[in-house]
Each structure stands twice: as C-alpha cells, then as structure tokens.
C-alpha cells in the first residue's frame, strides 16, 4: 500500500507523540498509536494500522528503554519477572477476550483505566523506595501482579502499559521513575509478540513503520529526559500519569458511547 507524502509526514509526527508518551509514562503507546494511524495518518485498513503500530510501538519502546537504562532507572530483575508472568497471563486473557463483544471490552477497559488513574492520583505524594528490589519474599507478589496485568491486557486486546506501571509500583514499592523504565521491558515484549504475528500475515506497512519509528526515537529520548526532570518534583509524575490515563479513558468511553 502506498500513501501520500503528507501521510508519511503525519506518521513521523504521530510516532513522535507515541515515543514521547512511552518515554514519559512507560505506557500509552499502543492506545495512542492505532487511533493516530487511523484518524490522523488516514490508514484505511484497521488491521494494517494495528500491525504497523505494533511494530512501531515495540521499536519505540526499545528506544525509551535504552534511554532509561543509560540513566539507571530500570530494575531488570523485577522487569524480567513481571514480563514473563505477563506474557503467560496475556495468552489466557486473549482466549477469554474473544468471547466478549469488542465494544463492551473497550468500555470495560476504559472503566478500569479510570479506577487505576484514581488510585495513582491518591498516591501522588508517595515517592516510593529507591532501594526496592525483587527478592524471594516479594517475587510471588510481582508475578501475581504481572500475570494479572497480562491477563487483563490479553483480555481487552489493548496494550498493558497503563497497567504495568501501577502494577510495578504496587507490587514492589519502587518509585514511579523506576516503574516507568522497568515497564518498557514488558511493553517491548508484548509489542514484539503482536508485531511478529501481524508481520507474518503481511499486515505491516513497512515505509510507514519506518517513519513512525524515526519520529518515535526523537520523542522517546525527549520523554525520558522530561520524566527524569519531573521526578525531582515530588508527585508531579504521578499526577500527570493519572491525568493521562483518565483523559484517554474519557475519550474511549465517548467514542464507544457514540456507537451505541
């Protein structure tokens, strides 16, 4: 499929927005990428938009992860445990989700996001424990949250970035900046799984994916730097994360209620 030059330019801008979101919040890329490709870029095929965005989000997550890793904000053991449990949970969740109407799934997911956003807003003054780590004592709790996140992500068919960050905070007590950096490991793993599946079915527009990724590299680096700056202001990152979740949830509810 060939798009107009202006559409590829809009793809680069969209990639920058997704990369900025991933670098800043550690999530939201997959939720934003598909609507941007469909409504802003103008990709006519929804499946093609999903496949192309999956490739782009996975690549942009790697960029954000590399930036956070250089800054030492990734807790690798926690990220690995959480990601493995999440992949297993997503497998079972996706099987359950196929039995539920798609519009109902989106409304339920949006409602869940509102709850998560409210909880994160309540914890805005909690700066977390920088020394938090995954040990034998809390590993079962981390795996439980990881599996639950993956289950919900697979069930709703939407990326779990918004759930991974609060899940890591709740299960380990780590600061928000560490949860954001560590969450990108799981976002990358989930995104690659989806991207490979769609690519094998020929549902990826590679030129669009390339410009989307290029824009995302710039946005991701900027988002990671902003996240580090905001971390110095107690609670600010938590507040922005909560507001971002609520804004996206409100948009999703509005879009779905229009179709009822």
pTM here is: 0.71
pLDDT tens-digit readout, 71-99: 888 999 999 999 899 888 877 776 676 56
Statement: residue 68 has pLDDT above 80: yes
Assign 3-class secondary structure to 203-259: CCCHHHHHHHHHHHHHHHHHHHHHHHHHHCCCCHHHHHHHHHHHHHHHHHHHHHHHC
pLDDT at 188: 82
End-to-end CA distance of the chain: 32
Task: Give the start-to-end residue ranges of the domains of the chain.
Answer: 5-258
CB–CB of 113/241 below 8 Å?
no
pLDDT tens-digit readout, 216-251: 888 888 887 887 777 666 567 667 777 877 887 787
């Amino acid at each position: 499929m060939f798009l107009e030059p202006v559409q590829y330019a809009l793809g680069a801008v969209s990639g920058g927005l997704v990369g900025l979101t991933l670098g800043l919040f550690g999530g939201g890329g997959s939720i934003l990428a598909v609507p941007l490709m469909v409504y802003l870029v103008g990709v006519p095929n929804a499946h093609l938009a999903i496949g192309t965005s999956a490739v782009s989000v996975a690549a942009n997550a790697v960029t954000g992860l590399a930036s956070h890793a250089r800054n030492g904000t990734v807790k690798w053991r926690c990220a690995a445990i959480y990601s493995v449990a999440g992949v297993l949970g997503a497998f079972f969740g996706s099987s359950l989700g196929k039995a539920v109407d798609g519009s109902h799934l989106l409304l339920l997911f949006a409602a869940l996001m509102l709850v998560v956003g409210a909880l994160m807003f309540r914890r805005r003054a909690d700066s977390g424990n920088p020394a938090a780590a995954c040990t034998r004592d809390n590993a079962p709790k981390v795996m439980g949250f990881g599996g639950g996140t993956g289950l919900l992500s697979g069930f709703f068919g939407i990326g779990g970035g918004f759930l991974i960050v609060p899940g890591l905070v709740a299960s380990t007590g780590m600061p928000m900046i560490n949860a954001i950096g560590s969450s990108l490991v799981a976002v990358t793993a989930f995104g690659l799984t989806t991207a490979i599946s769609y690519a094998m079915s020929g549902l990826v527009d590679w030129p669009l994916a390339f410009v989307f990724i290029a824009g995302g590299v710039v946005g991701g680096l900027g988002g990671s730097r902003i996240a580090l700056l905001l971390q110095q202001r107690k609670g600010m990152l938590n507040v922005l994360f909560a507001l971002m979740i609520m804004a996206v949830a409100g948009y999703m509810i509005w879009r779905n209620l229009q179709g009822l």
